[in-house]
A and B are shown apart, each in its own frame.
Chain A
């Protein structure tokens, strides 16, 4: 995944209609008409959203059938999710150390060490 693609994936996920389309596709392939059904959106508007998802690598579209069914591509979604999980780990680890640091700072203070330059 290139930097442009991760940015595109984040941008693509920003729209609730596109997330709903991904959710639908998580249940299996779907045609444009099937994806459009829950929305009061024109066909061109639906196609625009699908292009955004396709460019971000989040979906692919069949070439053979006339209906060109859409399919979820999990790799891009997984990368986004992995980053989110990694960022959470970073903060959990940092908070663990902050907790230890604060305990040590208070223990030092309790022993009566002066804080002359506070």
Chain B
């Protein structure tokens, strides 16, 4: 049985949880140091090289992503809040080599900026990371989207939004 030490967020925001067999101190280190971030962050198959890491509110994590086909893309985190060792809030987007924000180079139909919140909870030597994310940026009410989207659509259909869209697409 899962230990519910806090209520599940009622918002239905984009949510991923993973439990790691490691103490929180070590998980935090992997999120706050260049060597750690380089080892795990990024799209499948790409090699991440850290150009800048300023792990403080207002600081940037600026990185290059080299893909197997040779393509090179840049990305950045803009840290908003850092509360060691419990919580990080940051904006993630694609960028150029100079750390300026850009649209995704391969597909414009991607939100310009995603606001992410990661929380870290330790119990019995294991650390649970909970990630919530929503589009952020250009349209002010983009932020509300995910909160309602998943909650309402899931209620209405008894399934995930992905499945709904898939079903709609086939119709």
Q: Mark A58-100, 1 if CB is under 8 A from B, else 0.
A: 0000000000000010100111111111011111111101111
Looking at the complex, which one of B21, B30, B103, B109 makes contact with A83 (CB distance below 8 Å)? B109
Closest to B149 in A: A13
Once bound together, how far apart are the Cα atoms of A13 and B144, in whole Å?
A: 9
Report how many residues on chain A are interfacial, defined by Cβ distance under 8 Å.
Answer: 46
Interface size class of B (residues with CB under 8 A): 35 or more
In the complex, are the beta carbons of B168 and A101 less than 8 A apart?
no
Q: Which residues of B contact A106 (CB under 8 A)?
A: 22, 26
Q: Is A43's beta carbon under 8 Å from chain B? A: no
CB neighbours of B138 from chain A (8 A): 3, 7
Q: Point out the residue from B22, B36, B141, B156 that lies within 8 Å of A14, measured CB to CB.
A: B141
Q: How far is the CA of A103 from the CA of B26 in the complex (A)?
A: 10
Knowing A7-B142, A19-B153, A23-B153 touch, does A105 contact B26 (C-beta < 8 A)?
Answer: yes
Which residues of A are found within 8 Å of B39, using beta-carbon distances?
97-98, 101
Interface residues of B (CB under 8 A from A): 14, 16, 18, 20-22, 26-27, 30, 36, 39-44, 103, 108-112, 114, 129, 131, 133, 135, 137-139, 141-142, 144-145, 148-149, 152-153, 156-157, 161-162, 164-169, 171
